[in-house]
Amino acid sequence: MTLIRPRRKISQADWAAYMQKREPLAKDPAIQRFFATPPPSLDTPIGEVPMVALDMETTGLDERRHAIVSVGLVPFTLNRIKMAERRYWVVKPPRPLDEASITFHHITHSEIAHAPDLEAIIDSLLAELAGKIVVVHFRHIERPFLNAAIKARRGEGVMFPMIDTMSLEARLHRQKLWARFRRWLGRPPVSIRLDASRRRYGLPSYQGHHALVDALATAELLQAQIATHYEPSTPLGALWS
């Protein structure tokens, strides 16, 4: 079993200070442009926030030993998913694929044989993320993997606040009194995986473990979560991680 290392939760104030501090210190032009276009402020209503759903397929769960093999992103707002602006890249990892990871993400040796290194897409990827709130389902993959990969290639990493749809589901279904009572009864916790979470809102099942499809699924899930449990006037600061 692969263990996920716990990471310190960064406060909202810390994120704002971090973003402001990084711009003048960044040496790489693409990274500097990214930090020069910060996401909306904490008090911005979520209904006015430009967002981009991001998903990555990787060769494993540890960014120190594993690598990114594909990236998908879908820009959206609460009212519209901008599929015409979607982006999808397959990239070549620095080490050969193993059979276990191929079984998981279904990207084969032939698909990455002529794929570029992640270096080739960094500028475009950062431009797509700049000024938007990034939305993921489980923030302990995309953020640390992207930070490590960019740092390895550009000498400086990139971190940023996110909305994590899995964390929102955990708040709703694992941290309330009835959830604790369920555990006391010995029943398994409610699943907060992407497909299980979507089913609770009547969203259709998609074929998982494709970066672009999962990015779309995450965007739709956040729209459903806000429509069901929040309001468009909910401040961004109440939702980001």
- Summarised one tens digit per residue, pLDDT across range 2-57 is 333 334 456 666 888 888 899 999 999 999 999 999 999 889 999 999 999 999 99
- Quick one: pLDDT at residue 185? 53
- Per-residue pLDDT, averaged over 208-227, amounts to 96
- Quick one: pLDDT at residue 49? 97
Higher pLDDT, 42 or 185: 42
| Strand-pair category, 162-164 with 68-76 | unpaired
Name the nearest CA neighbour of 134 among 147, 121, 115.
147
- Quick one: pLDDT at residue 2? 30
The mean pLDDT value of the chain amounts to 87
- Per-residue pLDDT, averaged over 65-79, amounts to 96
- Per-residue pLDDT, averaged over 211-227, amounts to 98
Q: pTM, whole model, 2 decimals? A: 0.89
- Quick one: pLDDT at residue 117? 97
- Per-residue pLDDT, averaged over 204-229, amounts to 95
- Quick one: pLDDT at residue 17? 86
Ramachandran angles phi, psi of 76, nearest 5°? -165, 165
Cα 105-69-83 angle, rounded to 5 deg:
80
111-163 residue pLDDT tens: 888 899 999 999 999 999 999 999 999 999 999 999 999 999 999 999 999 99
- Per-residue pLDDT, averaged over 67-95, amounts to 95
Q: Classify the C-alpha dihedral 10-166-121-152 as positive or negative.
A: positive
Give the whole-angstrom CA distance, residue 181 versus residue 136.
29
Q: Is the pLDDT of residue 218 over 50?
A: yes
Name the percent of the chain lying above pLDDT 70: 83
- Quick one: pLDDT at residue 1? 27
- Quick one: pLDDT at residue 103? 53
- Quick one: pLDDT at residue 12? 65
- Per-residue pLDDT, averaged over 173-185, amounts to 56
Q: Report CA-CA distances (Å) from 104 to 10, 37, 67, 108.
A: 30, 35, 14, 11
Q: Report CA-CA distances (Å) from 54 to 26, 28, 94, 167, 196.
A: 23, 22, 22, 15, 19
Cβ contact 198:217 at 8 Å: yes
The CATH number assigned to the domain with range 32-238 reads: 3.30.420.10
Name the percent of the chain lying above pLDDT 90: 68
- Per-residue pLDDT, averaged over 64-88, amounts to 96
